Amino acid sequence: MLDQKFPISRRQFLGTTALTVAAAATSSMAMPSVLRAQGALVKLGVLHPVTGALSYSGQQGRLGATIAIEEINAAGGIRGLGKIDAVLGDAQSTPDGGTAEVEKMNSAGVACIVGGYASNICLATTQAAARYELPYVVDVGVADTIVTRGLKNTFRFGPGFGVIAKTALANLATINDQAGKPAKTVMIVHEDSLFGSGLAKLLNAQLPQHGFQILETIPHPTPTRDFNNVALKIKAQNPDLVIPANYYNEYVLLARTMQQQQVRPKGIYSVLGGAASSYKFVKEFPEAAKYIMDCNHWFDPRSEKAQALKKKVEGKDQFFTYEVYMNYSCVYLIADALQRAASADRAKLTAALETSTFSGHVMPYGPTKFVNGQNEGAAPVNTQVLDNDIKVILPPAFANAKPVFPMPA
């Protein structure tokens, strides 16, 4: 019916779509989308999964990076090089999506790329960038394989699994000892992909050394629709401590189900908990969040810059999540290296990153020192939800509150 009534329009439709599609495909290869800055000279790739399953984290990461770029540009850009031109990319929550963006950014002539977020995306993107000796700063991606593959272009400013698990255990032991060792038994609830199962493995190996007995380790997929079984198991075994390691949505469901099932361990001590140190969670579930401890990425609460950034982000009606300040810091790390390299040349920039002693960032880290691409100064901190706020309880150097453990009834 349709073709008889509109023979021409249909043919035209076909012809034009084929043409536009082809034209669009070729030109988009040559010119990726660019936020044009006036008189820009240094291009910086900002790559996050802003659509798909990881889009919340990706969008938060992009927010942090763009705030830093705006600030740097407002202050006149990189001395001697000019302003930063952000080349935004969407990894679409997949490794191949990320790789395609790296290729486009490389064609666009970026000096460096920041981002990736998820470990599996970072594994693919750092490797794609390595082909061009294009410096790449991983924003989050905690899998240690990202930096242990010997890729010269890859840098990670934040901590990896190994360090996080080690710190988490040492701090847990400290907190438990200070309270007179009320906790002896533990259950671990973790999501089953790279991040959760990697952590669970390390915890299983190391917790017994600190005198804890692991009653059970429960993996669950992401997404998990129901946590009642998990809550039942916890209730049946009644551990002193529950250690969750999962993403925000699952964490919310778990915490809510535990509350419904009236499961009350002596403490909830999460490691890289998706919600445990999230302002959103504390705001929306103040009861469920109370006294939860977390070993996670966090900003330095004493840093004025960090507090100013927090205000700025909250002013945009967004939550101040770790993706924001980690990306923010990574951009400043790159800006510092660009300044010292005094050039956007990739080899010179890589060398400048290798020797970086970047300070004045918003993270509670030790002195910046890169060894095989990993910042040795990076470490997580321990937070606890106290008085409807999130406080840092360890290490003492950055703490603004004392741990409350065991949980008051």
Write out the binding residues for another protein, residues 242-261 only, by CB under 8 A.
248-249, 252-253, 256-257, 259-261
Among 70, 166, 179, 233, binds another protein (CB under 8 A): 233
Among 41, 71, 94, 305, binds another protein (CB under 8 A): 94
Residue 103 interacting with another protein (CB under 8 A): yes
Alpha helices in 272-363 (DSSP H): 279-284, 286-289, 304-315, 322-341, 346-354
Residue 238 interacting with another protein (CB under 8 A): no
Binding string, residues 352-381; x marks residues near another protein by CB under 8 A? ------------------------------
Residue 236 interacting with another protein (CB under 8 A): yes
Residue 2 interacting with another protein (CB under 8 A): yes
Is the dihedral angle over the CA atoms 373, 101, 104, 313 positive or is it negative?
negative
Binding string, residues 27-56; x marks residues near another protein by CB under 8 A? xxxx--x-x--------------xxxx-xx
> How is the beta sheet containing 154-156 ordered, strand by strand?
83-90, 40-48, 112-115, 136-138, 154-156, 374-375, 370-371
Mapping DSSP to helix (H, G, I), strand (E, B) and coil, where does residue 221 land?
coil
Residue 185 interacting with another protein (CB under 8 A): no
Report the chain's C-alpha Rg in angstroms: 23
Residue 25 interacting with another protein (CB under 8 A): yes
Residue positions counted in the chain: 409
Q: Which is nearer to another protein, 122 or 392 (CB)?
A: 122
Long-range contacts formed by 27-32: CB under 8 A, 24+ apart = 28/104, 29/104, 29/107, 30/107, 31/108, 32/87, 32/89, 32/101, 32/104, 32/105, 32/107, 32/108
Q: Which is nearer to another protein, 271 or 399 (CB)?
A: 271
Residue 230 interacting with another protein (CB under 8 A): yes
280, HSE (Cβ side, Cα atoms, 13 Å): 14
> How far from 384 is each of 46, 153, 170, 276, CA to CA, in Å?
32, 36, 16, 8
Write out the binding residues for another protein, residues 286-305 only, by CB under 8 A.
287
Binding string, residues 112-151; x marks residues near another protein by CB under 8 A? --------x--xx--x--xx-----------x-x---xxx
Residue 316 interacting with another protein (CB under 8 A): no
- Nearest Cα to Cα of residue 406 among 283, 207, 268, 260: 268
Among 218, 268, 271, 334, binds another protein (CB under 8 A): 218
